[in-house]
Structures are given as structure tokens and as C-alpha cells.
Amino acid sequence: MSNIQLQSQLDLLKGSLVTEINPLNPIIIFNEEADGFKSLVIESAWRLTKDQEILIGYYEYNHEQTKQLCINNFKEYLIGKRILNIDLNEIIGDISIKFEGDLKLELFHTSSMFEGWQLYGENGFLLLSLPGGRITYTE
């Protein structure tokens, strides 16, 4: 798949609606009946921002004392919002997703041994941040 094909697949995700958040990693689910199942599995450091302010970050989301509050807030901020744009840094495996309401979710790959995130799109598309920050994708 070429960079043009990759960008085309990412463009297909624009407009996807956040319908559910599984708090495990977290896993963000974009699901509309006509579009099929799409999701983002986050296994790396991340932050959700609005107007250049951090609303929620990886560390407090995974901290025992603040986790439940962060789960609730994460759901409140993102459920019902659509993807406006996706920026991918192919060199190091970071991804930034802009949502309605000036929200931006930034994922930072920080491991040489583990995957950072997986983005599942239409028709079997999978974009994956590999150990060390490399990117791979399938159709």
C-alpha cells in the first residue's frame, strides 16, 4: 500500500462517530451500521487536549485514585464526537486525531518492545504502531 492509499484509508475514517469507549486501555469504538466496525486501541502514552490545555492524560487515567473520574470524563468528552482529521507521524509511530469541539487526542509511541496502538478501519484496514515506533498497515 502506498502513502496515497494509506491517506485514502485515513480519509475514510473522517466523520466517524465515537459511540463507545471501553475503559480497559482505553479502546475507542467508532460504529455506524453503514460503515462497519472501526476502533482505536490505545496501548501507549496519550493525552486529550482542548484549546492547548490537557484535559486528561495517560498517567492520571491509569492511576488508581483518579482512574474512574478520568474514565467518566473521557467518555463525556468524546462520545458523540466525530473525527475531523488524522495526522500520522510515520517516522516514529505517533498519531494525532482531531475531533469536533476542538478536541485533539495525541498518542505517543514510547516503547521499543511493545506495540503502541492499533487503528481499525473499513474493509479490514489496520494501521499498527509496531515496537520501536515503526508503522505498518494492511487492507
**pLDDT score recorded for residue 36:** 66
Number of domains in the chain: 1
Distances in Å between the Cα of 85 and the Cα atoms of 3, 8, 44, 96, 106 are 16, 12, 20, 8, 12
Q: For residue 62, what are the domain limits? A: 3-138
Query: pTM of the prediction?
Result: 0.92
CATH code where residue 52 lies: 2.30.310
> Average of pLDDT values for 71-82?
96
